[in-house]
Amino acid sequence: MSEKIFSRASGKKAKANDFVMADIDFAMAHDGTSVLAVRAFREMEEERVWNPEKIVIPFDHLTPANTDTTAALQHDIRGWIKDQGIKNFYDIGEGICHQLLPENGFALPGKLVVGADSHSCTYGAFGAFGTGVGATDMAEIFASGKLWFKVPESIKITAEGKFNKGIYAKDLTLKIIGTLGIAGATYKAAEFYGSTIESLSISGRMTLCNMAIEMGAKTGIVPPDSTTFDFLKDIAVEDYEPVYADEDAAYSKEYDFDTNELEPQIAIPHQVDNVSDISDIKPTKLDQAFIGTCTNGRLEDLEVAASILKGEKVAIRTIVVPASRNVLIEAIRKGTIETLLEAGVTIGSPGCGPCLGGHMGVIGKGEVCISTANRNFKGRMGTGGYIYLASPATAAASALTGEITDPREI
């Protein structure tokens, strides 16, 4: 799939390990990285972006601004965006970049979608080649619409079977990363196949592809099917042509997972591949639960949490941050937010929230948080804190008891 996408984007037959200069279909930078990309763009003495229609800028990481420094930087970028005529600008409260690009039809099958954020691999859920680059590379894209790539080799990950009750895409994702390791897929494109993958909703596929970078992958890709096309029906911003791997496509490695007996999975601090079945986890007291992020802040995730918390009261600080304004509105319409509020949950404004420790739920020294995010690095949510990663169901069940709890036992 990757060779086909790069062949189209570079205008010549691209094979794994070739170096190509590729045309970017859509480019994204957020409030954090746009500051650095625009600085580099100015240093390069560039004046106009190559195509304002192709650039998408969501403000999500530190929004609403947490300090006067952040506010001033955001003010400057808003001016630049206006000046450049960039219409696809999503200001505070609209949501997380990796939620907004899909919701607004920029993540499309067969496209090359590049973001100045490591989790841009999320767009692979739609059969795009989605990948993250540094801010200076993004400045080059802003200027020319092109960037060089080494075409990655591909690995094939097949998951067969049906989840039992209480098991979700996040559990499969953590299982895969725990098995391959944080460097298990370095610079590879991970293609996902099998009955489990086919049965995943768009939301579940996004959870899976979102974390491809956590095993070092350049991207994760799910072949587009009717689930994908239904989702994109009225929202795709332009025409697209899906690509599929050939029957005899070469993979540098293949992995098989049986999901019939999968248990809830937990990633233990401070590494994402330090993954364990929940039944092997020692009793662990918690100070906070956080449900949100580009990994698990969608409507489905909030609904799973609400179904567990309905009519109950949380035992610890519990923060829910919807991934976008649309998610929040839908969750209000369906009564999900009311259920969560009645259970004692704190709702944050759509965006990254405390995911990377900037605001809205940072944890203190020695504190322990169960989180639905994608990273549990040391200090990420606050110096001296401990982060356990899990599904929204496990996080909600744990919020009720105040310790890591199997959602199948609630």
On whether 97 is known to bind a ligand per the annotation, the reply is no
Report d(CA 192, CA 257) in Å as an integer. Answer: 11
Q: Which of residues 92-121 bind ligand IPM (CB under 6 A)?
A: 117-119
| Residue 195 near residue 163, CB atoms below 8 Å | no
**Residue 132 CB, nearest approach to ligand IPM (Å):** 6
- Is 61 a residue that touches ligand IPM (CB under 6 A)? yes
**Residue 96 touches which of ligand IPM, ligand SF4, none (CB < 5 to 8 A by kind)?**
ligand SF4
On whether 209 is known to bind a ligand per the annotation, the reply is no
Distances (CA, A) of 100 to 123, 133, 283, 300, 334: 11, 18, 37, 16, 21
Cβ distance to ligand SF4 smaller for residue 54 or 98: 98
Cβ distance to ligand SF4 smaller for residue 327 or 352: 352
Report d(CA 369, CA 384) in Å as an integer. Answer: 11
- Is 356 a residue that touches ligand IPM (CB under 6 A)? yes
**152 contacts: CB under 8 Å, gap ≥ 6:** 2, 16, 187, 188, 189, 218, 219
| Backbone angle region of 361, left / alpha / beta, with phi > 0 → left and psi within -120 to 50 → alpha | left
- Is 293 a residue that touches ligand SF4 (CB under 6 A)? yes
**Residue 221 CB, nearest approach to ligand SF4 (Å):** 19
Among 9, 14, 24, 32, binds ligand IPM (CB under 6 A): 32
Report d(CA 231, CA 217) in Å as an integer. Answer: 25
**Residue 83 CB, nearest approach to ligand SF4 (Å):** 26
Tokens found for residue 342: 């009645």
Q: Taking the alpha carbons of 180, 182, 184, 189 in that order, is the dihedral positive or negative?
A: positive
Binding mask 127-146 for ligand IPM (x = CB under 6 A): -----x--------------
Binding mask 204-243 for ligand SF4 (x = CB under 6 A): ----------------------------------------
**Residue 65 touches which of ligand SF4, ligand IPM, none (CB < 5 to 8 A by kind)?**
none
Burial 237-256 (b: 16+ CB within 10 A, else e): beebebbebeeeeebeeebe
- Is 28 a residue that touches ligand SF4 (CB under 6 A)? no
- Is 117 a residue that touches ligand SF4 (CB under 6 A)? yes
**Residue 293 touches which of ligand IPM, ligand SF4, none (CB < 5 to 8 A by kind)?**
ligand SF4
Element (H, E) at 115: strand 112-115
- Is 355 a residue that touches ligand SF4 (CB under 6 A)? yes
End-to-end Cα separation, the chain, in angstroms: 42
- Residues making contact with ligand IPM (CB under 6 A): 32-33, 61, 117-119, 132, 356
Which residues make up each annotated binding site?
294, 352, 355
